[in-house]
Structure 1
Amino acid sequence: MTKVKFIALKNYIKGGYPQEKDFETKEVDLDETLGNNQILVKLIYISVDPYVRGRMSEGKSYIDPFKIGEPIECGGVGKIEKSNCSKWKVGDYIANNQFPWKEKFVTDGNNPGCYKADKNAAPLPCYLSLLGMTGMTAYCGLTEIGEPKKGETLVVSAGSGAVGQIVGQVGKIIGCRVIGIAGSKEKCDFMTKELRFDVGINYKSPTYKDDIAKAVEKTGVDIYWENVGGEITDAVLPHLNKYARIPLCGVISSYNKTELDVGPRIQIYLLKSSAKMQGFIVFNYIDKFPAASKQLAEWYNQGKIKDQHSIKKGLDQVVPSFLSLFNSDHLGKMIIKIADE
């Protein structure tokens, strides 16, 4: 038996922002005896993502809520310490989009969600961002729904965030003019100087609506990548071009509201522009993952795309880092390092 710690949901949240009191850290005995095809994984990196908030509430959604008292799950990368599965050997690095927030655990080595993380191909944190669920979300959502074409104008809300940074860079590679929206001058500079977006707009500026209008005055908006919703979207919709496309990835501005989020009705804008708005989750395109991963890895190794991470260390940093996602105080993908590689 080995003592291991994990982070669990303490209670369901009916509305409002999650708080540290909604989580609890538990210590339990782990039986390292392996059954057929089982593996023992030491967690190295764990992801924290906004979609976790949805699983902290009861009610119908595209995925079941977490169980009270059980480990919260998110994308993770671990190292095989013991193996009773022919697919894995001790020392291999393994990634999965649903690893528990737990220091060590036993799992099924034949789980189809598990895949190898090759340090020689890319740094391990990339398998939680560019080469993980984040990258698949950005690439598949943009190419399948956004259908970007050279010369078009792409507007990305939360452009400095985990998904937005990849969406904008893929758009640039394809030949789009890219406008990123974020919440500080630092983030706008990051988008334009590091990610090579054409324009960065600070939505916390009192002139942000005018700034958006000026940025698209001559081109309009062909693709609007929706990460945020709310007033930012209200400012973009009047500028849609005919046959504009809106991949609906997230609406983080609404996740923690205690009352119904009400704003201008969107139907008139979609009707006038013959625009398409389509919601999606990444697993809608699971058959596209191999090709998407291959293309993103190729661009990464050619230096055409960057993968910005915000990395903190320690299991005790998981919850504070998750809560910080709703305060817009980080760049790129938020990742916690649980143990040394």
Structure 2
Amino acid sequence: MSTPVSTQIQLAARPQGWPTHDDFRTVRVPLGALEAGHVRVRNEFVSVDPYMRGRMNDVRSYVAPYQLGETITGGAIGRVVASEAPELPVGALVLHQHGWSDLVQDAASTFRAVPDLPGVPSSLRLHILGVTGLTAYVGLTAIAKLQPGETVFVSGAAGAVGTAVGQLAKLLGADRVIGSAGSDEKLALLTENYGYDVAFNYKNGDVRGQLAQAAPAGIDVFFDNVGGDHLEAALDVFNDSGRAALCGAIAGYNTTERAPGPDNLANVITRALTLKGFTLAAYLQLGAEFQEKIAPWFAEGKIAYDETIVDGIDHTVDAFLDMMRGANTGKMLVRIPTDTRGEEDAHA
């Protein structure tokens, strides 16, 4: 029997500014025999996400930085193809954080079995039915404490989290939802598919002016994925007692110099605003509550989603770089083509 080989993407150098292909390397790693309590999983989809850029820097953050020469970890979903763990038999669909590889084996405890949903692609477990949707829900409810009838502004609205936020905000009772995106095609999707009442193209410049025009009565909630000029714009138009859920700051992820702070931060005081950053790890206990909400909405056809899919583990870096440039609509994913699966796998 041939030896199974895992293709993995590693961090070769810490990016200075925008990442390039030279910051990564692809390696082929032969896998040994399965140990007791371990499983081998063939991935179906691998996630690339903005937060990964921050982990490529050797700086303090909410999660440890990636180490040079190690495989980049992150969300993925796949099926067990060999098992020495009765709780995860061959064929089980599993979520895990082993990241950028096509084939992975490790202790069964590092994988979480999820049920197959008839007619539902497994990829949705990596976004709208998984951590992406939960992030949107947590930001709107636990952080920003959205109330029915309020106005919400979402930066980076056409990304995976942003498309979820727009829909959930409406389903949770928001009266008006405003989004920013980087192309006219994305603006149309936001207003036609994702619950946004109005959207503007930040690449046209004057984010402050465009938001003021889109929100003549002000905003109550800001869900921020971008930071920078979008945060300044929100601070201009916040109503009294407004709340911001600060989820990401992609505008500054690839800068090499410190960006100046908002010039209107005094509004936080004069308007009694609340700005709160969050990471999902501290709110995972809300997962069951989120699933109770999202499952019937999804079954009733009230949840839309888009995926931008790149085929092949060897193109993971391409997918990541494209996502960082905003080339995706909805969730960016790497799909492991079916014809590469299983030829070397066997029941252990």
Q: Give the TM-score normalised by structure 2.
A: 0.93
Aligned to 2:226: 228
Counterparts of 2:277 and 2:115, CA distance in 1: 29
Q: Assess, with a 3 A threshold, how the Cα gap between structure 1 residues 266 and 122 changes in structure 2: closer, same or farther.
A: farther
1:194-233 mapped onto 2 (5 Å cutoff): 194-206=193-205, 208-217=207-216, 219-233=217-231
Counterparts of 2:264 and 2:278, CA distance in 1: 18
Aligned to 2:109: 110
Report if aligned partners of 2:236, 2:264 keep a CA contact under 8 Å in 1.
no
Report the aligned-residue RMSD: 1.5
Report the Cα offset of residue 316 of structure 1.
2.0
Counterparts of 2:141 and 2:214, CA distance in 1: 23
Residue by residue over 1:67-92, the C-alpha shift from the partner in whole angstroms, topping out at 9 and shown as x without a partner, is: 22221111100110012222211111
Amino acid in the other structure paired with 1:133: V
- Note the residue ranges of structure 2 that are not aligned, 5 or more in a row: 342-348
Amino acid in the other structure paired with 1:131: L
Q: Assess, with a 3 A threshold, how the Cα gap between structure 1 residues 274 and 297 changes in structure 2: closer, same or farther.
A: same
Q: Assess, with a 3 A threshold, how the Cα gap between structure 1 residues 266 and 88 changes in structure 2: closer, same or farther.
A: farther
Aligned to 2:164: 166
Residue by residue over 1:246-302, the C-alpha shift from the partner in whole angstroms, topping out at 9 and shown as x without a partner, is: 001000000110000114345311111111111110011011112212322221111
Counterparts of 1:102 and 1:26, CA distance in 2: 10
Aligned to 1:8: 10
Counterparts of 2:270 and 2:172, CA distance in 1: 27
Counterparts of 1:304 and 1:69, CA distance in 2: 43
Amino acid in the other structure paired with 1:6: Q
Counterparts of 1:254 and 1:191, CA distance in 2: 24
Q: Give the TM-score normalised by structure 1.
A: 0.94
Amino acid in the other structure paired with 1:28: V
Report the Cα offset of residue 114 of structure 1.
2.0
Aligned to 1:30: 31
Report the Cα offset of residue 339 of structure 1.
3.1
Report if aligned partners of 2:222, 2:245 keep a CA contact under 8 Å in 1.
yes
Aligned to 1:82: 82
**SS of alignment partner, residue 233 of structure 1:** helix
Q: Assess, with a 3 A threshold, how the Cα gap between structure 1 residues 147 and 19 changes in structure 2: closer, same or farther.
A: same
Aligned to 2:344: none
1:1-341 mapped onto 2 (5 Å cutoff): 1-13=3-15, 15-31=16-32, 33-96=33-96, 98-111=97-110, 114-120=112-118, 122-176=120-174, 177-206=176-205, 208-217=207-216, 219-340=217-338
Q: Assess, with a 3 A threshold, how the Cα gap between structure 1 residues 298 and 59 changes in structure 2: closer, same or farther.
A: same
Report the Cα offset of residue 313 of structure 1.
0.6
Amino acid in the other structure paired with 2:98: F
Report the Cα offset of residue 58 of structure 1.
0.8
Q: Assess, with a 3 A threshold, how the Cα gap between structure 1 residues 285 and 138 changes in structure 2: closer, same or farther.
A: same
- Note the residue ranges of structure 1 that are not aligned, 5 or more in a row: none
**SS of alignment partner, residue 325 of structure 1:** helix
Report the Cα offset of residue 99 of structure 1.
2.1
Report the Cα offset of residue 208 of structure 1.
4.1
Q: Percent identity?
A: 35
Amino acid in the other structure paired with 2:58: E
Amino acid in the other structure paired with 1:167: V
Counterparts of 2:331 and 2:321, CA distance in 1: 14
Counterparts of 1:132 and 1:332, CA distance in 2: 14
